[in-house]
A and B are shown apart, each in its own frame.
Chain A
């Protein structure tokens, strides 16, 4: 491959995907509202009094996929649960056992989580955010240790998936999940 071929790859001359119908937009919005809303409610009434929370950034990213890109492999239960749990575990392990600067530990955690998700066929992009959160989340996250994998991750993901099952299938055009495992 010469220079010209290399740079020609960056042209990006294909056409972007079409905008989805407004009805689809509303179903996606409703799903995200109920999914994240349910996480927030559980978090605020049951977990925050116990110094726990479900309101973490990576679950918001998952909501985009589970409710907005329903048919994608990234959005299927295997990927959502597997990607988050594996990445959370890797993040906690890196934080506990790599005695390096936080930015370097975070970098390594994300890199390993990407590889682990690819190897285990559980690619879910928000998993990278989960791994990073385990490293840069501060004292609240560090105090949880490996329990971080259970709460907020596994519990939050479970809530998103249950809401996804209920809401996504209410639309005549949607079917969720495409596969479980």
Chain B
């Protein structure tokens, strides 16, 4: 691990003095614990795969002011389930998915708790209308990840949020790629 340097016994002594309390562990044990922890951290890091290595960089996106039918055509043509919505600065402002388009057409989403409540209240879809812009139907803000995060973190997020793809953004929230469940499965299969 390049950014972690080795420590020597003198560092441990200084650290113990700094704590200003009696710690009942010997210097030898403390060094053993530190060395083992460092080894485990190195092993963990060596197994990590950054999202940048697995994401798709050739991303199709839409603008928030695009017509919803244009987004539907793109989804259909490209055979993807969702598109990142970006503004003029290439910043991700939301995500538009097949489910959002179906919702526009009045097809109920019955898999979520909110949808169940809507169903009980007799409200099939809050966004139900036949025309409109992408911004009227998109999910915003979007759940995003950074390219330097571990692919496993992205997998956990996909599972937790029950979504299939995540826009990958840089430190200024600009779109740099998309990572999907399939991308992560591919990495795990090749490991």
Contact = CB atoms under 8 A, between A and B. Distances in A.
B26 A71 contact: no
A139 to B, nearest CB: 37
B21 A20 contact: yes
Interface string B9-26: 100010011001111101
Given A14-B28, A15-B9, A15-B27, A21 B22 contact: no
Contacts of B17: 18
B20 A24 contact: yes
| Interface size of A as a range | 10 to 19
Contact of B13 (A15, A69, A74, A173): A15
Nearest to B23: A71
B20 A72 contact: no
Interface in A12-40: 14-15, 17-18, 20-21, 23-24
A70 interface: yes
A68 interface: yes
A17 B20 contact: no
A174 interface: yes
B21 A174 contact: yes
B33 to A, nearest CB: 13
A14 B26 contact: yes
A17 B28 contact: no
Interface string A58-91: 0000000000111110100000000000000000
Contacts of A69: 22-24
Contact of A24 (B22, B24, B27): B22
Contacts of B26: 14, 17
Contacts of A174: 21
B13 A20 contact: no
B13 A18 contact: yes
| A14, A68, A74: residue with the most chain B Cβ atoms closer than 10 Å | A14
A162 B53 CA distance: 55
Contact of A68 (B9, B20, B22, B27): B22
B15 to A, nearest CB: 10
Contacts of B21: 20, 24, 70-71, 173-174
A68 B22 CA distance: 7
A20 B22 CA distance: 6
Contacts of B13: 15, 18
Nearest to A23: B20
Interface in A116-166: none
B26 to A, nearest CB: 6
A72 B23 CA distance: 7
12 contacts: A14-B28, A15-B13, A17-B16, A17-B22, A17-B26, A18-B13, A20-B21, A24-B22, A69-B22, A69-B23, A71-B22, A174-B21
